[in-house]
Amino acid sequence: MASRRRTLLKVIILGDSGVGKTSLMNQYVNKKFSNQYKATIGADFLTKEVQFEDRLFTLQIWDTAGQERFQSLGVAFYRGADCCVLVYDVNSMKSFDNLNNWREEFLIQASPSDPDNFPFVLLGNKVDVDGGNSRVVSEKKAKAWCASKGNIPYFETSAKDGTNVEDAFQCIVKNALKNEPEEELYVPDTVDVVGGNRAQRSSGCC
């Protein structure tokens, strides 16, 4: 259990249907974009080995169905998440307005031990569309929202051409590790000393 916590980072991608969750995941993991993804039914995940500050992690990225109606399934999928990535489409105000719902629903269903400090990262996707002319959510507005939620890191991405995707996930990994000390507390007493060290080192990363 303890060793698993140290190497596996679980990240959940949430956001409205069609904002590009699956595409972002595939761009990051497989460096590919396809116009032919299907709507995600249920949930799926991809894994990627990542190195962060000389440590090797398996990043497990969960992609879930975007329709609100399937939110109740989250209980099973969100458990043990280290970071939640919220995605909206910069060309859709509705997808931006729904971010509050996604964030709150996540906190209810995943019920992290410290909800106030649980790491989120926000991605405004599809910045490539129509050369930015169809954009309806400004960067300023998105950043204001992030500030109001405890300074959530924000990236503007294009899953299609790869813009900022790598950087965004670097940040996601970093933030996922913020949560790590919490989890380490569950390590049995016998390795408590190790757990203590780990906690210090991790907080150094953030």
Partner 1 sequence: MRGGDAAAAAEEGSPRSPDLHDLSDDSDYAAAAAATASDHTAMRTDSADTGSDETTRIDVVYEKERVTIHPTQYGSGRISGKLRLFLQQGSLFLSWEPNEGDGSLSTSSVAVEIDKYRNLYTIKALPLSDVRFIRRHTPTFGLDYIIIVLSSGLAFPPFYFYNGGIRELFATLKQHVFIIRSDDDPNVFLVNDFQDPLQKSLSSLELPGVASVANAMSRQNSLSFTGSVDETRHADDGRHGAASSMSQYSSKQKPKSNDPGRDLSIQVLEKFSLVTKFARDTTSSLFRDNIGAHAYGRQQHGYALDNQASDKQKNQYVTPEKDYVPSAPVESDPIPLVWGKQRDRPLSVEEWTAFLDPEGRVMDSKALRKKVFYGGIDHVLRKEVWKFLLGYHEYDSTYAEREYLTAMKRAEYEAIKSQWKSISATQAKRFTKFRERKGLIDKDVVRTDRSVPYYEGDENRNVVVLRDILLTYSFYNFDLGYCQGMSDFLAPILYIMEDESESFWCFASLMERLGANFNRDQNGMHAQLLALSKLVELLDPPLHNYFRQNDCLNYFFCFRWVLIQFKREFSFEQIMLLWEVLWTHYLSEHFHLYLCVAILKRYRQRIIGEQMDFDTLLKFINELSGQINLDRAIQDAEALCTIAGENGASCIPPGTPPSMPIETDGGLYVQQDEVL
E strand residue ranges, the chain = 8-14, 43-52, 55-64, 83-89, 120-125, 154-156
Cα–Cα distance measured from residue 202 to residue 167, given in angstroms and rounded to the nearest whole number: 20
Tell me if 136 contacts partner 1 by CB under 8 A: no
Nearer to partner 1, 54 or 114 (CB): 114
* Angle, in degrees to the nearest 10, between helices 165-178 and 21-30: 100
Q: What is the DSSP string of 117-133?
A: G--EEEEEE-TTGGGGT
Provide, rounded to whole angstroms, the least separation between the CB of residue 72 and partner 1. Answer: 5
Selected from 69, 114, 116, 130, the binder of partner 1 by CB under 8 A is 69
Q: Does the protein bind partner 1 through residue 133 (CB under 8 A)?
A: no
Binding of partner 1 by 197 (CB under 8 A): no
Residue 32 binding partner 1, by CB under 8 A: no
Contact with partner 1 (CB under 8 A) among 56, 75, 93, 206 = 75
Fill in the per-residue mask, 150 to 189: x = in contact with partner 1 (CB under 8 A), - = not in contact.
------------------------------------x-x-
Q: Which stretch binds partner 1 (CB under 8 A): 37-45, 50-58, 142-150, 173-181?
A: 37-45
Question: Measured from the CB atom, is 2 or 199 closer to partner 1?
Answer: 2
The phi, psi pair for 129, rounded to 5°, reads -60, 125
Query: Taking CB under 8 A as the rule, does residue 104 contact partner 1?
Result: yes
Shortest separation between residue 54's beta carbon and partner 1, angstroms: 26
Whole-Å CA distances, 13 to 55, 62, 123 = 23, 6, 10
Contact status, residue 124 vs residue 154, Cβ threshold 8 Å: yes
